[in-house]
Amino acid sequence: MSVATLSIHRGGPGEAPRRDRFEVPFEAGQSVLDGLRWVRECADPSLAMRYACLNANACKECMMLVDGRVGYACTIRLEAREMRLDPLPNKALLRDLVTAIAPPDERPPEPGA
Amino acid sequence: MAVEAPLLRTDVLVIGAGGAGLYAAIEAARRGARVLLLDRSLIGRGGATVMAQMTVAAALGSETEDDWSHHLADTLAAGRGLCDPRLARLLCEEGAEVIREMDEWRTGWARHPDGRIRQVQAPGHDRPRCVYVDFLSTGPAVSRALRARAQREGGIRRMGEVLVTDLVTSGGRVRGAVALDLAHGVPLRMSAGATVIATGGLTRLYRRNSASSNMAGDGYALALRAGAELVDMEFVQFFPIGHLAPRMIGMDPIMWDPFRYKLGGRLLNGAMEEFTDRYGAPDGGRYVVTRDLATYAITREVAAGRGSPSGGAWLSFQHVPEAVLRENFGPVIDRLAANGIDLTRTPVEVAPIAHYHMGGIRVDARMDTGLPGLFAAGEAVGGANGANRLSGNAITEALAFGRVAGREAAALARRDGEGWDEAAAAEALALAGGTGPARPGMNTAALFRRLQDIMADDVGAFRTAEGLARAGQRLQALSAELGEAPPGPPLPHDLARADWFDLRAGLQVAEAVVLAAAARTESRGAHQREDHPGLDPAWGHNQTLALRDGQLRLGRQPVAEAA
């Protein structure tokens, strides 16, 4: 069985960034989002990622860096090779693949503010 | 905990920022209320509204003469005798008004060259009644128009990434809520004069579903735990022609709906024969069979060994010339080609997919739950659609019910004001923000998948007493594994913690569906019992559910009289 290897940025702001590698069973026609959901269900539920709709490209929440290029995890195909996944570089990091992308006036209050 | 959770004060708290929640917020704000609008996702991105592909039913009469009473007659017929006619009337009558208001808010309903709004005929409607934006774009356009209006309205504090974990009740009244701020992993307190649940339905409880990841019945569980009642929980609608194979990316599984509106398409079994006529519902290459009947027909064909290779039916557009496909769906045809699909050469496989919940929170025609201080709106409400929802009624319901809930909540908040009770919130706050026991090896995402498997295996479109009993036992076993508190300390964007709260809610709601489905020993609309085929006139009443002393209690009520 062929596998897709996802090399994923882990950690939050102020932490030394590290990478975890997950081997995902590869099936033709999957999206990168499918691979990430497999990681949470079968390997590590603590992985932080953002999505609301499922592969419909309607919510536009799953934007991240895939092999260094900005894209939606739900519209980029998973491939049977190593793929590097990183959070958006120009947004404040929350944790793992999640950044603060909500408009400033639509966010919860900053703790301690 | 070290830092006290922030206390946010508002007149009206709206939980959920899909079509119903946004409309409720706008309506409450224009009646002078301060509004706090929450969503666990980003504002206007999560929920079901943004996923809507196509049609919105409203008796505008822009194609042919129409009146809300005709829409109501079709809605009641589709509901197989169980609609609450007061709610159905509200949907149809106020529905036409909100669709016009949405037009003023520049939703961009598709128009004829002479300026009339276009309306198409959907299955179960007696005439062209469904407005749309572009094919595959209706939901995003509705969400965008509402969000823009909410931003302009003033008085609405919009806040995404907030998961409400419990309502706070004291003195027999809802006083607000406790939530988990998902962005930072900290608890929040919200004091409100009136609260509106607009969290949508429960279709994420099924393995194959067309919902957002945040539609797992949490609003039903909030209402139950606070003391409100649910109704019609056995009626889960399956969309008959959800995409099954080949695998696609970047496309909603209900995308074939607009194709069928425009081009008909042929629904075929594994032997490439038309088959819905065998179940009393001839399709004939047009899109006329209601959702419950089409789901029934496909499921029976598959059970009889006449399904398509992946376990569904074929949907074929091979008879449609490529030029016609392009003319109607231009760029979508290219997206299909990128997925290796050429409709002129091969059919696709489709199968029923969990799509909408007819049941929900029991309310009156003011969207009042009967529990003081608590309202509901949209798919979170049960009753308007009875045993089966008509195509096109979901967005209309969301907008119309949202408007009513916003109006009533603003009036109540003005009359009663706030009354936060810190002691009543303590337990919920400790659960939302506290550090739970470490549970090494516990995978909350896998547990949620098991919940979806249980529901898909035995509580889907076809049910038996034996299967429902098995589902009940498996749900109990899963509940026992969940434990009393979320595992570990809260983290920023902690999906495992969110899963734990989703499981707590989802398991309770799943049990409610199982109880109601097991009790209803007949087949009606979306509730089909293999061991009790056929509609039984003696079952012409609604079932209700309440939580008493930690136990779900099933009740009955006669179908409401017309308003």
Which string of DSSP letters, residue by residue, matches B261-313? HHH--EEE-TTS-B-GGGGT---TTSS-S-HHHHHHHHHHHHHTT-S-TTSSE
Contact A48 B445 (CB under 8 A): no
Q: Sort strands B186-197 and B7-15 into parallel, antiparallel or unpaired.
A: parallel
CATH number at residue B274: 3.90.700.10
pLDDT tens figures, A65-80: 999 999 999 999 999 9
| pLDDT for the residue numbered B292 | 83
- Sorting pLDDT into bands at 50, 70 and 90, what band is B335? confident
- Region B62-83: mean pLDDT is 97
What's the sign of the alpha-carbon dihedral B39, B45, B51, B55?
positive
E-assigned strand segments in B446-530: 462-463, 528-529
Picking from B104, B12, B96, B85, the residue whose alpha carbon sits closest to that of residue B57 is B96
Taking only the tens place, the pLDDT of each residue in A55-67 is: 778 888 999 999 9
Residues 210-229 of chain B whose Cβ lies under 8 A from any Cβ of chain A: 211-214
Q: Is B41 on the interface with A (CB under 8 A)?
A: yes
Do residues B179 and B165 make contact, with C-beta atoms less than 8 angstroms apart? yes
* Residues B542, B441 within the same domain: yes
Structural domain spans, chain A: 3-101
- B133 at the A interface (CB within 8 A)? no
- pLDDT value at residue B89: 98
| CA count, 13 A, side-chain hemisphere, B125 | 28
In a domain, B297, yes or no: yes
Give B132-164 as a DSSP string: -SSTTTHHHHHHHHHHHHHHHHSSEEEE-SEEE
Q: How far apart are CA B392 and CA B95, in angstroms?
A: 11
Nearest by CB: B495 against A28, A40, A59? A40
Give dist(CA B177, CA B162) in Å, integer: 11
In contact, B320 and B344? CB cutoff 8 Å: yes
Q: What pLDDT band is residue A113 in, cutting at 50, 70 and 90? A: low
pLDDT in tens, B357-387: 999 999 999 999 999 999 999 999 999 999 9
Query: CA end-to-end span of chain B, whole Å?
Result: 51
Residues of B in contact with A72 (CB under 8 A): 250
pLDDT at B52: 82
pLDDT value of residue A2: 93
Put simply, the answer to whether A42 touches B496 (Cβ < 8 Å) is: no
Domain finish residue from B353, B379, B403: B353
CATH architecture under which domain A3-101 falls: Roll (3.10)
Domain edge (last residue) among B333, B353, B373 = B353
Query: B74 CB near a chain A CB, below 8 Å?
Result: no
Asked whether the predicted pLDDT for residue B536 surpasses 70, the reply is yes
Compute the average pLDDT of residues B291-310: 92
d(C-alpha B563, C-alpha A81), whole Å: 63
Asked, for residue B282, whether it belongs to a domain, the answer is: yes
Distance from CA of A83 to the nearest CA of B (A): 17
The DSSP line for chain A is: --EEEEEEEE--TTSPPEEEEEEEE--TT-BHHHHHHHHHHHT-TT-----SSSSSS-S---EEEETTEEEETTTSBP-SSEEEEE--TTS-EEETTEE--S-GGGSPPPTT-
Domain boundary among B353, B369, B393: B353
For residue range B141-172, list pLDDT tens digits in order. 999 999 999 999 999 999 999 999 999 999 99
Q: Determine the residue among A46, A74, A99, A101 to mutate to test chain B binding: the one whose Cβ has the most chain B Cβ atoms within 10 Å.
A: A46
**Per-residue pLDDT tens over the stretch B509-531:** 999 999 999 999 999 999 999 99
Q: For residue B52, what is the nearest residue in chain A, using CA coordinates?
A: A58
Q: Which of B291, B389, B403, B497 is catalytic?
A: B291
Closest-CA distance of chain A to residue B542, Å? 32
Q: For chain B, state the CA radius of gyration.
A: 23
Enumerate residues 28 to 87 of chain A having a beta carbon within 8 A of any beta carbon in chain B: 28-31, 37, 40-42, 45-61, 72, 74-77
Chain A residues within 8 A of B494 when measuring between CB atoms: 46, 48
Q: Are B370 and B228 contacting, i.e. CB atoms less than 8 angstroms apart?
A: yes
Could you tell me which chain A residue has the CA closest to the CA of B248?
A29
Q: How far is B440 from chain A (nearest CA, A)?
A: 11
User: Best-predicted range by mean pLDDT among B47-51, B390-394, B504-508?
Assistant: B504-508
- Please state which of the ranges B71-80, B112-121, B289-298, B503-512 shows the lowest mean pLDDT: B289-298
- Summarised one tens digit per residue, pLDDT across range B383-431 is 999 999 999 999 999 999 999 999 999 999 999 999 999 999 999 999 9
Is pLDDT above 90 for A1? no
Tell me what ipTM this predicted complex has. 0.96
Same domain, B439 and B547: yes
Confidence of residue B2 (pLDDT cuts 50, 70, 90): very low
What is the count of structural domains for chain B? 2
Tokens of B318: 């091979």
Q: Do A52 and B214 lie within an 8 Å CB cutoff? A: yes
Residue B548: give the domain boundaries. 435-555
Residue at B479 is within a domain: yes
| Contact between chains at B491 and A48 (C-beta distance less than 8 A) | yes
Q: What residues of chain B, 332 to 351, have a C-beta less than 8 Å from chain A?
A: 339
Whether B291 is a known active-site residue: answer yes
Give the whole-angstrom CA distance, residue B524 versus residue B537.
10
